[in-house]
Chains A and B, each alone.
Chain A
Amino acid sequence: MTTVRLPRLFLLPSQWLLGATVLAPLLVIAIYSLLTRGAYGGVTGPTTLGSYGRVFQPIYLYILWRSIWVAALSTVLCLILAFPLAFYIARAARNRTLLLNLVMLPFWTSFLVRTYAWMFLLRDTGLLNTTLQRLGLIHVPIPLLFNVGAVVLGLVYGYLPFMILPLYATLEKLDPSLLEAALDLGATPASAIWRVAVPLSRPGILAGCALVFIPCLGAYLTPDLMGGGKTVMIGNLVQNQFTNARDWPFGAALSLVFLGLSGLVAVGLQRRGDQLL
């Protein structure tokens, strides 16, 4: 009996912590989503499913769809950039710890500050545009900031480490002799990577994709700052309901639908990952 109970006891603190900090607020949000908007913020009775009805109006579905699209594009770009880098670090003969620390270095400063740094680089009078103008390559500044491209750039930059680290973890365990065998059997280096390394690192790819896609889907700081408030993503929509619009029930309903969606993505990727393992 004690052998079963002891591990359970060890779980208790974290279970309570999760219950108090995740499930309880979630329950509050669920209750709010069923109530009616108070005239000046807050919620009042009666209970209604009206907020959920509104979530599925075309305009909000369109915003949801565009958020998915932006998040998916950012995830794919992260993957394309991260795979060669993770492969290189995993195969590096020396300095692996140093390289990994470099990947994590940006976390030492706040994301907000780093986003502002990008804005200084990209704006009309920013480093990039002024340099190009001085070199005579362009005559008028190119609009680099305040568009969807800038939002994707900001997201890729922000979440790249979350793709690199799980990829590194799987690639590092990959037996190098498998690649050697592929080469010995006549595979070109490219096809050895494509047909051996990539399939074997699927779990890392899926974990990385989930870690990048889900936060990108909920991002609101980057679309606000890098997109100049001209493109709304679901995160901005939810935030606006709790501030300017003072429509808490609708904001709660939006965030629950969005949470369910992210949950489905996470579970889907996890399932595929388990099957492949």
Chain B
Amino acid sequence: MNVYNWDNYVAHETVADFEKLHQCQVRYGIYASAEEMLAKVISGNSGWDVVFPSNSFIGPMRELGLLLQLQKDRLPNLSNLETRFQAPEWDRTLDWCVPYMHSATGILYSRTAPIAPRAWADLWSDAYRRRVTMLDDPAEVFGACLKRLGRSVNAVDENTLQAARDLAIQQKPFLRAYLSEQVRDQIAAGDVLAAQMWAQVAQVVIDAAPQLAFSFPAEGFALYADNICILQESRHQELAYEWVNYLLEPKVAATIAEEISGATANAQARALLPERLRHNPVLYPSDEVLARGEWFRPLPAKAQQLRDRYWTEIKSA
């Protein structure tokens, strides 16, 4: 069986234990971006059986006929999922995917900073001049700017996107750089005081550098989740179902969540986690905080093209 996943998304023994349990061999590959995964599987004969797409990729991949419609009676462990992941907005009846890990985009900051950032707007302030970074990802930068404007992270109309672009350009003099995960050691070392960051990555950094903290911006923020999907092309469906069910087992899911400091969508697994993780406000924000979050959605091609055009303008401003 062939599993294609993000890097660092299972525990050390997860694959080996499954192989022992089912007397099989698993080919396990990793990808660095959802686009990379999609480009591989879009042909329909990539050789992979199971992939882990983000929520905004589920709709498009289903429309492209890439996903297998799940027979839920073959996945008894589905009931272990948290209630809100039993009917997520990208697949209300879980016909095509099983939510795996979830996270959100917020601000990782140093407690030594002059002010603690409570809102995206704080990242446009003199307090952080040249000591702040944004993610090198157009969806995230637009997301923050759109939330500042009081709009949806999934906005598609030209005027709104233009206003978001202008905000991003205004921010450039305050920015040190557009950095994704590379910012980790720079914020730990104190070069950078505040960084737009994914909550899950932030938690890993905070574990190693306790002077850091994380905030969920007041204006609202983006949510995302990665999901387990079986591909339509899968030639090992039997094992693929076993694998999905295995990942849903409380003990297996808890071991993974603990080892990678991730937020599992599995309620039974979360209950098994040590206190430090189980009630961690960065990984599992309260309902009150979550109410400000908004899931990323797939964008129509025209909006995608417009955003890319504006992204180029932001970057070369």
Contact = CB atoms under 8 A, between A and B. Distances in A.
Interface of A: 37, 39-42, 59-60, 62-63, 66, 123-125, 143, 145-146, 224-225, 227-232, 236-237, 240-241, 243-247
A249 B175 CA distance: 32
B71 interface: no
Contacts of A247: 305, 308
B190 A245 contact: no
Nearest to B300: A39
B122 interface: no
Interface string B22-39: 000000000001011011
Contact of A42 (B42, B176, B315): B42
Chain A binding surface SS class: loop
B89 interface: no
Contact of B60 (A39, A232, A236, A243): A39
Contacts of A228: 133, 176-179
Given A124-B190, A245-B305, 16 more contacts: A37-B301, A59-B316, A60-B312, A62-B316, A123-B186, A225-B182, A227-B177, A228-B133, A228-B178, A230-B175, A230-B177, A230-B178, A237-B312, A245-B304, A246-B35, A247-B305
A41 B38 contact: yes
B166 to A, nearest CB: 15
B190 A40 contact: no
Contacts of A231: 315-316
Nearest to A146: B177
Q: How large is the interface on B (under 10, 10 to 19, 20 to 34, 35 or more residues)?
A: 20 to 34
Contacts of B33: 243
Interface in B171-215: 172, 175-179, 182, 186, 189-191
Contacts, number: 80
Nearest to B32: A243
A232 B305 contact: no
A244 B137 contact: yes
Most buried by A among B42, B137, B309, B315: B315
Contacts of B312: 59-60, 63, 232, 237, 240
23 contacts: A39-B301, A41-B39, A41-B42, A42-B42, A60-B312, A63-B316, A123-B189, A125-B190, A145-B177, A146-B176, A228-B133, A228-B177, A229-B177, A229-B178, A229-B315, A230-B177, A230-B315, A232-B312, A240-B311, A244-B138, A244-B311, A245-B311, A246-B35
A232 B172 CA distance: 13
* 6 tightest A-B CB contacts, nearest first: A228-B177, A229-B178, A245-B308, A124-B191, A146-B177, A232-B315
A145 B192 CA distance: 12
A240 B33 CA distance: 12
B186 A230 contact: no
